[in-house]
């Protein structure tokens, strides 16, 4: 899979994408992530990527020309399955969305900034708009990092223990069961006996039961989607 991220703040993408599972997935050749500085696609000395909005509102708007040039250059090189724009008014991101994006070959993520992009970008160049939640971030970079992380970690081979991504919270519209590690007792707080029993059938039943109990208590809305 290949993910191209277009941003005015490329430095902001380095750390979230440079560690742990994502770094390993890149090193294993499971995913290629390319970050493009939108300013490299400007044609003026000041490398201008934004301008005042028509109509006189406050704030700045991302200009269409650099975005068009960058997306067009990438599209000349390969086919893209989705061209995503990160925005608080996009479709709400969730695990199902991450699952389907992880099956694609090539995607572009355009990070929104300022008051957003010239609306013609959304009308003519973007195929999907994603919000990571009902709150406003300073820019779309953190949203792009969240989306990229959630996609990459479920690409087969990205996580050492293959089964581990399948038991993630939300994969089944269920919260994950509690997990514990050594010591079996700390401060008098004990790990449930069943997990120490070695009886894998019992352990699996316990995990299923506690997953359902936690979901009923904390996220009953998820059970309706099952």
Residue 86 interacts with ligand ADE (CB under 6 A): yes or no: yes
Contact residue for ligand ADE among 31, 36, 83, 87 (CB under 6 A): 87
- Name the burial class of residue 100, with classes exposed (0-12), middle (13-18) and buried (19+) by CB atoms within 10 angstroms of its CB: exposed
Contact residue for ligand ADE among 140, 151, 159, 175 (CB under 6 A): 140
Contact residue for ligand ADE among 74, 107, 143, 159 (CB under 6 A): 143
Residue 137 interacts with ligand ADE (CB under 6 A): yes or no: yes
In terms of residues, how long is the chain?
Answer: 226
Residue 106 interacts with ligand ADE (CB under 6 A): yes or no: no
Residue 132 interacts with ligand ADE (CB under 6 A): yes or no: yes
Strand partners, 97: none
Residue 7 interacts with ligand ADE (CB under 6 A): yes or no: no
In terms of Cα–Cα distance, which of 47, 135, 43 is closest to 87? 135
Residue 148 interacts with ligand ADE (CB under 6 A): yes or no: no
In this structure, are residues 191 and 151 in contact, taking their beta carbons and an 8 Å threshold?
no
Contacts of 205 (CB under 8 A, 6+ apart): none
Contact residue for ligand ADE among 24, 88, 94, 115 (CB under 6 A): 88
CB-wise, 116 or 177, nearer to ligand ADE?
A: 116
Q: Which residue has the tokens 């509690």?
A: 178
Helix (H, G, I), strand (E, B) or coil at 32: strand
C-alpha distance from residue 226 to each of 94, 169, 176, 207, 209 (Å) = 15, 13, 15, 17, 15
Contacts of 68 (CB under 8 A, 6+ apart): 121, 125
Contact residue for ligand ADE among 38, 112, 117, 148 (CB under 6 A): 112
Q: Cα separation of 52 and 8, whole Å?
A: 17
Choose the binding region for ligand ADE from 17-25, 125-133, 173-181, 183-191 (rule: CB under 6 A): 125-133
Backbone angles phi, psi at 30, to 5 degrees: -80, -25
CB-wise, 87 or 215, nearer to ligand ADE?
A: 87
Residue nearest to ligand ADE (CB): 143
Residue 200 interacts with ligand ADE (CB under 6 A): yes or no: no
Binding to ligand ADE (CB under 6 A) within 20-79 occurs at none
Residue 108 interacts with ligand ADE (CB under 6 A): yes or no: no
Binding site for ligand ADE (CB under 6 A): 86-88, 112, 131-133, 135-137, 140, 143
């Amino acid at each position: 899979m290949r993910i191209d991220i277009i941003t005015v703040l490329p430095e902001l993408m380095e750390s979230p994408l440079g560690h742990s599972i994502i770094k390993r997935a890149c090193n294993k050749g499971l995913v290629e992530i390319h970050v493009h500085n939108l300013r490299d696609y400007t044609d003026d000395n000041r490398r201008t990527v934004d301008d005042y909005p028509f109509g006189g509102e406050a704030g700045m708007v991302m200009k269409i020309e650099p975005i068009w040039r960058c997306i067009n250059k990438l599209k000349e090189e390969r086919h893209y399955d989705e061209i995503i724009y990160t925005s608080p008014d996009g479709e709400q991101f969730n695990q199902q969305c991450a699952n389907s994006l992880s099956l694609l070959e090539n995607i572009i993520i355009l990070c929104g900034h300022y008051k957003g992009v010239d609306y013609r970008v959304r009308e003519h160049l973007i195929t999907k708009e994603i919000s990571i939640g009902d709150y406003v971030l300073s820019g779309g970079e953190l949203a792009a990092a969240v989306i990229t992380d959630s996609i990459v970690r479920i690409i087969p081979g990205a996580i050492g223990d293959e089964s581990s991504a399948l038991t993630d919270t939300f994969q089944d519209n269920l919260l994950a069961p509690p997990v514990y590690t050594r010591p079996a007792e700390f401060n008098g707080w004990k790990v449930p006996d069943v997990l120490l029993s070695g009886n894998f059938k019992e352990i699996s039943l316990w995990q299923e039961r506690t997953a359902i109990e936690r979901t009923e208590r904390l996220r009953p809305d998820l059970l309706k989607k099952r």
